A = this chain, B = another copy of it.
Amino acid sequence: MTTRDRRRRVTIADVANHAQVSTTAVSKVIRNAYGVSPAMRDRVKAAIDELGYRPHAAARAMRGRTFTIGVMLPHIRNPFFADILDGLNAQLDDTGYQAIMIQGGATQKAEAPAIDALVDRQVDGILMISPLAPRARLEAVGREIPTVVLGRHERSAVYDAVFDDDEAGAELVVNHLIGLGHRRIAHITHQDNSTARPSDLLHIIRAETYERVMREHDLAAEIAIATTYYTEEGGYDGAQQLLARSRRPTAIFAGADQAAFGALAAVHEAGLAVPGDISIAGYDNTRLAALPNIAITSIDQDGAVMGHTAARLLLERIEGRTSAVRFSVTPSLVPRRSTAAPPPQDG
């Protein structure tokens, strides 16, 4: 049983008093601003240390910077985002900037307030990872705050874009499977309620590329898409749908590793072997995909590089850059044991 401590926090005024200088001087010192003598600096720094002063971010937000980068990500369960965050945080280290994250969730309805929350908290820069928001909203945010959008393909004049060449990646997977001799190749894609232009969304690009490549190999009749989610449950459900078809696929290309994990479970549960009966491929090359008893063929798109590039672009914008930059990583195929030639009778 206690009462909340109502002792005021140490403020810039306390420091100024203690050091017998003006608050202006203290402010300049903590911002490394121009026009403070070394003596003044030392004196103030000593007072700061003695009093354990830390600037009050909310107060700063009203005049200057918050030294905060806001990251909107759909959900923390996808391990690919952890790769991105690792890259981002590594780049932010020792810059004085802190990254805060907020979950956008699976719908535009849930995402909108999450983005608002970041804007309302006056972050100095925003990274949106695979946002569902309409393009106009991204532009509006980008006009107000330095912004990087990761995972969407549209061009913008007001924010930077970091993305993977999803078309190339999907092509690698489908060609790989076709090269192994598969014809009945199915795809699991992600359902969204976005109002973004479809061709700007990565899961749409992956799905459309799958269809295109299939057609180019005269496999239009074999096209089979399950539209669920890029999650374990989604992959599980999607695979079950696909397995229930009269012409069962011999290979499943899941648009994300997360979905591939679920698909793997469904295939196992159906009493089928991977890759003996069915080959499975994913996308993102998450660390889990590399585990020996998962060993899923996947597409690597180097999340760490994407994350650290995003951070760099954000810092550049905060420093004043206004021209838009687009950064794209080239994906590569990482073949593993989950893909092999189809069973003889199905070849």
Contacts and interface: CB of A to CB of B under 8 A. Distances in A.
A54 B101 contact: no
Contact of A101 (B101, B113, B144): B101
A323 interface: yes
A137 interface: no
5 contacts: A54-B119, A58-B121, A68-B121, A98-B102, A261-B288
A221 interface: no
State the main secondary structure of chain A at its contact with B: mixed
A188 to B, nearest CB: 16
A293 B292 contact: no
Contacts of A103: 85, 89, 99, 101
B101 A76 contact: yes
Nearest to A101: B101
A157 B265 contact: no
Contacts of A85: 76, 103
A73 to B, nearest CB: 8
Contacts of A75: 82
A88 to B, nearest CB: 10
A268 B294 contact: no
Interface string A265-305: 10011000000000000000001100111100000000000
A61 interface: yes
Interface string A103-142: 1000000000110110111100000000000000000000
A345 B1 CA distance: 58
